[in-house]
Amino acid sequence: MIRWVAENVAQPIRDLVGAPVRITSGFRSKRVNDAVGGVADSYHSYDDGKWAFDFVVPTMTLFDVMNTLKKSKIPFTKVILELDQGVIHVQGLVVEFLVREVVSGRKVYTFLDQYEVKRNA
């Protein structure tokens, strides 16, 4: 899931702002989440397709980054400007494109990209 977030959210944010993005908090284990005062159902836990990370763009103000993100089509469901932390928090759910087929009477799911590679081989 971390790779999906990197490829579909973090890198597109970097491309959009045209500058390096410094992630200050990504995945958190329960122990770390508790230590930093995170909520019990934190998206930083990366459970059940949920994901979150906090970041800054050192060459931009937080407000400029927020206004840039408002115009994007990046697949996040919530963006929070955390003034007390000096970061932007983005969160969402992993979007999966799957192909379902029945094999030997059983439903089998394959990621679309993998299915197309197999089909075209």
pLDDT in tens, 40-49: 889 999 988 8
Give the model confidence (pLDDT) of 73-103 as tens digits. Answer: 999 999 999 999 999 999 998 877 888 899 9
* pLDDT (0 to 100) of residue 83: 95
> Over pLDDT 70: what percentage of the chain?
100
pLDDT band at 18 (very low <50, low <70, confident <90, very high): very high
Residue 1 has pLDDT above 90, yes or no: no
Residue 87's contacts (CB-CB under 8 Å, 6 or more residues apart) are 24, 25, 54, 55, 56, 62
Return the pLDDT at 59: 96
Instruction: Between 98 and 72, name the one with better pLDDT.
Output: 72
Looking at residue 96, what is its pLDDT? 76
pLDDT at 119: 83
